[in-house]
Each structure stands twice: as C-alpha cells, then as structure tokens.
Structure 1
C-alpha cells in the first residue's frame, strides 16, 4: 500500500503567505472602492453638479415650454434628487391645455418633461370672433383677424360653460370624418323638451340633440344617415327617441331607430 505524500509545513508557508496577501489586497481594493464611491456621492450631492442644468419640454403645441417649466416649479437651483415626479406632474396638469405629463430625470442633471395636450375640437363664435375650444371645454385666445375655422365645427349661442364642455367632450369621441361632417352647432337652452342643440350637417341634414346625451348619441349619426330614404334630407332627432323628419311638409315622420 502506497504511503501518502506528506508536505512539510515549512514548504507550505510561502504559499499560505501569498494567499493571505492576495486576500488582503482584494479586501483593500473593495473597501477603497466603497470609500471613494461614498466620497463621490457626497461631493455630487453637495456640489452644483446635482442642480438641474437642462430642462427639455416636448409635445407642446398650444402652451409654451416656458409656461410648462414655470408650472413645474423646477429651476436651475433645484437639486435633481429633490424632484418628486408625481408632485411635478400634478402641478403641470393644472394647466388648462395639458391632458397628461411624463417626467424623466437623466444623470447627472437633466430633466425632460413630456406633455400631451387636449386637442382642438371646435370654434366658439362670440362677439364677432372665433375662439378655439379644446376637448375639455377650455376656450383659447381668439383667432387672428381674417383667419377662419376650417378644421372643426363652429359653435353658436353657448353662454353656459357646462354645455360647452359637454359638447366639446362629445366631439372628442367621434372620428375626424364625422367631425368634418358637422358644419355648426347651435345651443338653444330655452327648449322645453330638453333638446337644446341643433346641428347643421354638411350633407344637408339637420340634427336635434340634447347636451345630456350628445356625447353618447352623436356616434349613432352615420348609421342613422346611412338608412335614410335615398335622396332625402331632413331633421334627425338624436335624444330620447331617434327618428327622421323629411324636409318636405306634409310627410309623416319616418321611424329610423328607437331606443
């Protein structure tokens, strides 16, 4: 039976010393890295490097980038680590034209504000001027003299903000093709039946509707119009009962669709 080779302790000492030295060196490098990293973090947080240097705004078309930045409350004296995204978003969303906000922070000191604005859905005719109306009912500054609205319906007689908002929200739910088929919308708040809207369509029809159900029922118009008698134009009622009255006098109402 072979005897196992025995290595003398004095022969192993240099190897053990080398291994211990390597371990000690690795520990030193590790702790040195931690130390310098902490020093860097402390210096960064206390130095001007941590203050916001660049603020970029994207997506703005109606509101100016200056107003967005001012609303955010972020300045060049703001430390980037002190920015609370949710709080900044809520501040910017208070602007009447802003629908949603996304805040991005980039090392070392850059902030990007991405906004989505409410789109223009109509124009309000008031005191001889046209005022763009956003989807949330916000009225913007009047159009320049001589400029005419061509891409959205014109609203007449809207003196109540609640009715204006309802109609603007309803226009936001329809397709561009449908919206372009509406020439103008008149508000007749004195109607005792609750049908307080009259829409004049570019296809020759007239629509009577209610602000309460406008957003829901206006989407039914293409289907109703497609089922009208060929070559006939008249008034379509889109409120409690949906029916069609031809232009010619003496003809009875044609029931198109009922609730």
Structure 2
C-alpha cells in the first residue's frame, strides 16, 4: 500500500523564472518612453540647413519652396517631396535634399546657367537660360553680366528659339565676344550678330553654334561684315563695295 503513494516533492526555496515576453515588454516600454522624450526635446528639431549651388534663386526662395525652416521636427522632413518642389522652379536643373540625423539638412541645387539676355520692347533685360527659358520675373535692374543681348525679337519667332538653343552650345569665350543678336534684314532664317570688335556677323540660326566657331580667326580683323554661310568671307567696313578678304570652305 505504501508503495502506491507518490513521494512528496518539496517546492520550498524554488522560484518560477519570469516569462521572456516580460523582458520584451519592459524593453519596448522604456524604449518608447525615451523616443517620446527625444521627440519633445530640442535634439529632434532641425538646427542647421545648408544650401549650396544657387546663384539665381535666393536661399529664402528655396526654403519657402521646400517649406523648411529651423525648429521643425526632423521626422517631418520629406526629402523626395522637397526635391520635386525645387524642380518646379524654372532656374533649377537638378536638386538634392539630404537629411543627416539628428538635426542637419543639406540642400544642393544645380541651375541652368544664363547664356544670353532678352531685351523687351520697354528695354527690360531678362536672363535667358541654357534651356531656352526667359526669366521674366528676374530682370537685370542695374548691371548685367557680359552676355549677348537678343534685340528686336518676338518670343514666338522660331528663328529666335533656334538661335537661343544654338547660343547655349557655343563656347563661353566666343559667346562673350558678342554684344547683340538681331534678326537679319535680308533672310528670316539668318541672324545678325554685333561683336565687341565692331564686326557684323551673318549666320543661319540653326548653324550658329557650328559656324561661329570660325569667328576667332576673324577677331583681329578691322570693322566689317563676316558672312558665315555656304562660303565664309569678310568684307571690310571701309570699302564702298564688299571685297573678299578671307574665305573658307
């Protein structure tokens, strides 16, 4: 009979180990509390915004477009949305917005460079970008860079559009020697360029970038007309009739 009775097991001095989920709960709880405290502290606020690469667009305009300012939450920043907003500016070619934890923002813009100036009927001077955009909202008020002025053009003129695209492809050292670019009186497809050496250059708008590469060869010539057409030749100003001075095939 005694053999059928199980032996009594004493539980005195033994403790049950806590469940693993309890440690997980404690860790998550305190981590959450620390995160909340971080969000409410100045450490989570944007402290510095670095802006670079801008010349035409002011820093204040960039901040307004991206809706960024010091003191906003770091976690409310959306870099992709800010980049899309900057790309809506006609001056901006590329834009990147990079956030650095915990409170730094880096904004880098690349602008379309100005290559010429458009003169309006009321003689306002508007920058023309290399993509052909005329910045009507950014007139030159007092001084202007040394860039050729498109004078006497209508914006919808296809020859003007072609000439703007071509002038953007022309090397800057040559482009800076041009003072004005106007419609040619004798041919709707040609332009007349006045240079700083008092040369009148006649060239088709669609060939401007290619043919004007020859202009440095004539730069030291006296004032006169340079024809960069099927044949390339120079006529001095002092002659009563054009005289062939230089020709290139």
Residues 57-76 of structure 1: pairs in structure 2 closer than 5 A: 57-74=51-68
The answer to whether the 8 Å contact 2:233/2:244 transfers is no
Asked whether 1:235 is paired with 2:232, we answer: no
| Structure 2 CA distance for partners of 1:107 and 1:205, relative to 1, 3 Å | same
- SS of corresponding position for 2:206: coil
Shift of 1:91: 1.8
Residue 155 (structure 1) aligned to one of 125, 150, 163 = 150
Shift of 1:182: 0.9
Asked whether 1:143 is paired with 2:140, we answer: yes
Shift of 1:107: 1.2
Shift of 1:90: 2.5
Shift of 1:50: 4.3
| Structure 2 CA distance for partners of 1:204 and 1:76, relative to 1, 3 Å | closer
Residues 1-259 of structure 1: pairs in structure 2 closer than 5 A: 38-39=31-32, 42-43=35-36, 47=40, 50=44, 52-74=46-68, 80-81=74-75, 83-126=77-120, 127-136=122-131, 137-140=133-136, 141-144=138-141, 147-149=142-144, 151-160=146-155, 164=160, 166-188=162-184, 192=187, 194-195=189-190, 197-223=191-217, 225=218, 231=221, 234-238=224-228, 241-247=230-236, 248=239, 249=241, 251-252=243-244, 255-257=247-249
**Runs of 4+ with >6 A deviation:** none
The answer to whether the 8 Å contact 2:118/2:134 transfers is no
The answer to whether the 8 Å contact 1:243/1:253 transfers is no
Shift of 1:192: 4.5
| 1:44-93 Cα shifts (integer Å, max 9, x gaps) | 78656545454332233322222212222446686544544344223202
Shift of 1:200: 1.1
Q: Which blocks of at least 5 consecutive residues in structure 2 are unaligned?
A: 1-23
- SS of corresponding position for 1:57: strand
What's the Cα RMSD here? 3.8
TM-score (norm 2): 0.67
The answer to whether the 8 Å contact 1:170/1:215 transfers is yes
The answer to whether the 8 Å contact 1:232/1:246 transfers is no
| Structure 2 CA distance for partners of 1:64 and 1:130, relative to 1, 3 Å | same
TM-score (norm 1): 0.65
Instruction: Report which stretch shifted further, 35-44 or 114-123.
Output: 35-44
| Structure 2 CA distance for partners of 1:76 and 1:158, relative to 1, 3 Å | same
